[in-house]
Amino acid sequence: MPKLTLYHAAPSRSSIVHWMLEEVGEPFEIQLVSFKKGENLKPEYLAINPMGKVPALKHGDTVVTEAAAICTYLADAFPTASLNVPVGDARRGDYLKWLFFGPSCLEPAIIERAFPRKEAPPRASLGFGDFDTVMNVLAKATGSAKPYLMGEEFTAADVVIGSGLRWGTMFKLIPERPQFAAYLLRLNERPALQRATAKDRSLQAQQET
């Protein structure tokens, strides 16, 4: 079995993958990358991710970067964990839509809210369109989630979208909507998320020493 290593800063966007790995349930190692010590910009790490960012995942000789891509990869690589919608299943289109919606719409909308530009580019030129539309689309999707985005089955799409919504809620960057609150409550009940969050707390102390 090829070894799984997560390059991680706790907590950060790599916490998305930490949660995903806990859901997958295969053994994995964590290699902490300290931003404070500049480890993400050292040649050894740039050889793994030339972007100088976490997360990165090593699976045997395969290296994957970009949180949503890693979640998609893990869900497909470990199908027995039932976290993907396989090729050939008609629901895969919707599943991939949510996996891409995370980094291409939800995250940029939140960042735009956190650091508004003096002059906002025209809506048509922004991939995420506008903040309110992103929130409305997600409120509709989470409001009709039964109980998850893809129905009864929890998938990698919930890890990606759920992480974005959790993060935006934590920093009060997204509006309070009953649909978001109910969906996040369901996600917070997942033992894998609870394990990853608890582990992140102790890792945070460790990585700065």
Q: How far is Cα 34 from Cα 155, in angstroms, rounded to an integer?
A: 30
68 vs 193, beta carbon nearer ligand GSH:
68
Q: How far is Cα 123 from Cα 63, in angstroms, rounded to an integer?
A: 35
Kindly tell me which residue out of 26, 31, 52, 195 binds ligand GSH, with binding defined by CB under 6 A.
52
Least Å from the CB of residue 38 to ligand GSH: 9
108 sits near ligand GSH (criterion: CB under 6 A):
no
Q: Which one of the spans 20-28, 46-54, 154-162, 190-198 is the region binding ligand GSH (CB under 6 A)? A: 46-54
Q: Which one of the spans 47-55, 78-86, 120-128, 136-144 is the region binding ligand GSH (CB under 6 A)? A: 47-55
40 sits near ligand GSH (criterion: CB under 6 A):
yes
The residue sitting closest to ligand GSH, measured at its beta carbon, is 53
How far from 42 is each of 10, 35, 190, 203, CA to CA, in Å?
18, 10, 36, 20
Kindly tell me which residue out of 31, 77, 81, 103 binds ligand GSH, with binding defined by CB under 6 A.
103
Asked if 18 and 154 touch (Cβ cutoff 8 Å), the reply is: no
Kindly tell me which residue out of 22, 23, 39, 66 binds ligand GSH, with binding defined by CB under 6 A.
66
177: left (phi over 0), alpha (psi -120 to 50) or beta: beta
Kindly tell me which residue out of 8, 13, 58, 59 binds ligand GSH, with binding defined by CB under 6 A.
13
Q: How many CB atoms are closer than 10 A to CB 209?
A: 5
Coil vs helix vs strand at 40: helix
Alpha-carbon radius of gyration of the chain: 17
Residues that bind ligand GSH (CB under 6 A): 12-13, 35, 40, 52-55, 66-67, 103
